[in-house]
Amino acid sequence: MPAIETRNQKLDLRLTPTAKRTLQTAAQAAHRSVSEFVLESALARAEETLPDRQRFGLSAGEWALFLAALDTPPRPAPRLARLLREQGVFERNRRK
């Protein structure tokens, strides 16, 4: 079970009257206070944003494999090369 943290930090926001009304309406619909609604929403967005930006560690062997993968030349992709050479559907239809 995670440790319970005390909420003792404050975050102030400046917003337009329209934005405030929107948040109040959404919070009411979710049966939450505006503070709870904004905090839950902001934390959910932060959790969506951060996973690919978090630090991760590799062992020396994993690091060597990672570097080798980066140094490996890409495999030929003839279908992709052909796709990039050909005109797209929108370019072909534009000339008609």
Q: What percentage of the chain exceeds 70 in pLDDT?
A: 95
In this prediction the pTM is: 0.53
Q: Stretch 66-85: mean pLDDT, rounded?
A: 94
Tell me the DSSP string of the chain. -PPPPP----------HHHHHHHHHHHHHTTS-HHHHHHHHHHHHHHHHSGGGS-----HHHHHHHHHHHHSPPPP-HHHHHHHHSPPHHHHHHT-
pLDDT at site 52: 76
pLDDT digits (tens, 9 = 90+) for 32-51: 999 999 999 999 999 998 88
Of 14-18, 57-61, 69-73, minimum mean pLDDT range: 57-61
pLDDT at site 92: 75
